[in-house]
Structure 1
Amino acid sequence: MLNYVVRRLLILVPMLLAVSVAVFLVLYSIPGDPARMAAGPDASEEDVVQIRANFGLDRPIHEQYAIYLGNLVQGDLGTSFRTRRPVLDEIRRTLPATVELAAAAMAIALLLGVPIGILSALRPGSWLDNTITAFAVFGISMPGFFLGLILMVIFSATLYWLPPTGRGTWAHLVMPAVTLGLPYVATYARLTRSNMLDVLSEDYIRTARAKGLARSTVIYRHALVNAAIPLVTVLGIYFGRLLGGAVIVETIFAWPGLGRIMIEAIVQRDIYVVQGTILVFAVSVVLVNLAVDVLYGVLDPRITYG
């Protein structure tokens, strides 16, 4: 197991190198002068030239990347053009908010989607199953930005139950977490239903029932454990999508997270902030997928790591 984890972590190095090259080239090709945007509309040409020299933007692209890569190896992600603060400080300040939002959304998806899927699988073809299927289609089809606006109109502008924007109390978290998590509730409900229907038709389930085991024991200790392996696989896949959705949700609800500062940095061409946030997202996805792979061995002891 330890050797497997070490090999996976070593793979992270070339992957991050490829991500940094791709992001650097894309940002370099976007029209506009980052130095002029950082200087402001009223800055003189001398000020723009000075800013360009201070940040090394007057050098050839390969020299800029070499300098950036050298600093990156030392743990320096650069300095923000807008705030003049280290990018690492900006990430430390905003990352907890994104983790909080993503964790709440994933908790909503699992705690609602899995039980709903189990109920649907236990009564296939019933009115409950059809209702859950309709809900799943609705949840998957609903765009996150549209759902967020609907929730704001209902619970903030009409009922005044929840604050529309910001972060601070649990009430601020409700609407962003529901907006981000609802499509995954529908996804997990459908996946759980499909996997449970397959598992419930297996011979060992019929044997467990024939031995007189309690219905709850058959469902949760035998069927659900085996149906959970595909769900764990999807958990790793959807985590990247969850972070992508968090970027939109944070912008809608003015949630002070990593996705929001990335959008602001893209608009203002704050290239070091964009590069730093994307690298953090890439590392997060890789680490979550590694944790998912390790979790396979917990759910199914037959799985080994060569």
Structure 2
Amino acid sequence: MLNYAIRRLLLLPLMLVGVSLSVFMMLHFIPGDPARLAAGPDATEADVQQIRENYGLDRPLMTQYFIYLRKLSHGDLGDSFQTYTPVSEGIARTLPATLELTAAGMLIAVLLGVPLGIAASVRPRGLIDNCLTTLAVLGISLPGFFLGLLLMLFFSVQLEWLPPTGRGGWSHLFMPALTLGLPYVATFSRLTRSTMLDVLGEDYIRTAYAKGVSPLNVVFRHALSNAAIPLVTVFGMDFGRLLGGAVIVETVFAWPGMGRFMIDAIVARDIYVVQGTILAFATLVVLVNLLVDLVYGILDPRIAYA
């Protein structure tokens, strides 16, 4: 397992080079002059030209990329066009808020989705199962930004219980995390239900019931442990989706995270900030998927790492 993890980590720089090249090319083919946007509407042509020279924007495109790649190999993500501060400082400032929001959203999705799925699998086509199906369709169909506005209208405007925007204690975190995690409750609940139904139909489950094992032990000790691998797989996939959804949620709730930091940079064509934040997102997704692959071996020792 250790050798497998080391090999995956050694491939990480190559993956990030591919991501950086794709993002670099897309940003430079978007219409508009980032130097002119950075200089402002009242800047002279000489000021714009000076910014191009300072940031190397007057050089050939591939030369710009290799300069950026050389800086990246030394941990330098460049400087922001807007604030003239290192991009790494902005990422270090906003990344903890995004991780906090994403972790809270994932926690809500798992803590609500898995028990609901288990309850639905124990009594298929019962009341809980039918309600769960309706809620799952609603949760998947409802856009995140619209759900966030509804929660804000209810908890902040009508009840005046929670602050509508900003970052602070749990009262600030509750609505953004619920907005982010609630659609994924449907994913975890439906997947838990289907995998549990498959496992509960196996012969060893019937044998456990015949030996007098309590239904609670059968469900949680025998069935859930064997149904966990698909859930872990979805956890890794949904983590990347939650990071993407955090971009919208952070904008709606004015949450000072990396997603909002990136959106502001896209609007301002601050290309180094956009490149740096996307690389940070890509690194997080790759590391979480590596962690998921390692958890497979813990859940099922029969899995071999080639």
Bucket of the pairwise TM-score, normalised by the shorter protein: over 0.9
Describe the SS at the equivalent of 2:125: coil
Work out whether 1:125 is the aligned partner of 2:125. Answer: yes
* Aligned-partner residue type, residue 293 of structure 2: D
Q: Which moved more, 1:206-215 or 1:252-261?
A: 206-215
Give the CA deviation at 1:99.
Answer: 0.2
Give the CA deviation at 1:304.
Answer: 1.8
Give the CA deviation at 1:302.
Answer: 1.1
Question: What is the match of residue 27 of structure 2?
Answer: 27
Write the distance in 2 (CA, Å) between the matches of 1:296 and 1:156. Answer: 42
Write the distance in 1 (CA, Å) between the matches of 2:13 and 2:211. Answer: 52
Q: How many residues align?
A: 306
Q: How does 1:46-85 map to 2 (within 5 A)?
A: 46-85=46-85
Q: How does 1:102-117 map to 2 (within 5 A)?
A: 102-117=102-117
User: Which residues of structure 2 form unaligned runs of 5+?
Assistant: none
Give the CA deviation at 1:238.
Answer: 1.2
User: Which residues of structure 1 form unaligned runs of 5+?
Assistant: none
Write the distance in 1 (CA, Å) between the matches of 2:287 and 2:152. Answer: 34
* Aligned-partner residue type, residue 120 of structure 2: S
CA deviations over 1:27-63 (Å, ceiling 9, x no partner): 0001111111111111121111111111111111111
Write the distance in 2 (CA, Å) between the matches of 1:190 and 1:268. Answer: 41
Write the distance in 2 (CA, Å) between the matches of 1:228 and 1:112. Answer: 15
* Aligned-partner residue type, residue 264 of structure 2: E
Give the CA deviation at 1:207.
Answer: 0.8
Question: What is the match of residue 236 of structure 1?
Answer: 236
CA deviations over 1:203-234 (Å, ceiling 9, x no partner): 11111111111211111011001111100011
CA deviations over 1:161-204 (Å, ceiling 9, x no partner): 11111101111101100000001111100000000000000011
Write the distance in 1 (CA, Å) between the matches of 2:119 and 2:258. Answer: 37
Give the CA deviation at 1:235.
Answer: 0.8
Give percent identity, aligned residues only.
Answer: 69
Question: What is the match of residue 301 of structure 1?
Answer: 301
Q: Give the TM-score of the pair, scaled to structure 1.
A: 0.99
Question: What is the match of residue 94 of structure 1?
Answer: 94
Q: Give the TM-score of the pair, scaled to structure 2.
A: 0.99
Write the distance in 2 (CA, Å) between the matches of 1:175 and 1:294. Answer: 32
Give the CA deviation at 1:116.
Answer: 0.4
Describe the SS at the equivalent of 2:78: coil
Structure 1 segments of 4 or more deviating over 6 A?
A: none
Write the distance in 2 (CA, Å) between the matches of 1:19 and 1:70. Answer: 15
Describe the SS at the equivalent of 2:227: helix
Question: What is the match of residue 149 of structure 2?
Answer: 149
* Aligned-partner residue type, residue 177 of structure 1: A
* Aligned-partner residue type, residue 281 of structure 1: F
Question: What is the match of residue 274 of structure 1?
Answer: 274
Describe the SS at the equivalent of 1:155: helix
CA RMSD of aligned residues (A): 0.7
CA deviations over 1:137-180 (Å, ceiling 9, x no partner): 11111110110111111111111111111101111101100000
Question: What is the match of residue 42 of structure 1?
Answer: 42
Give the CA deviation at 1:25.
Answer: 0.3
Describe the SS at the equivalent of 1:219: helix
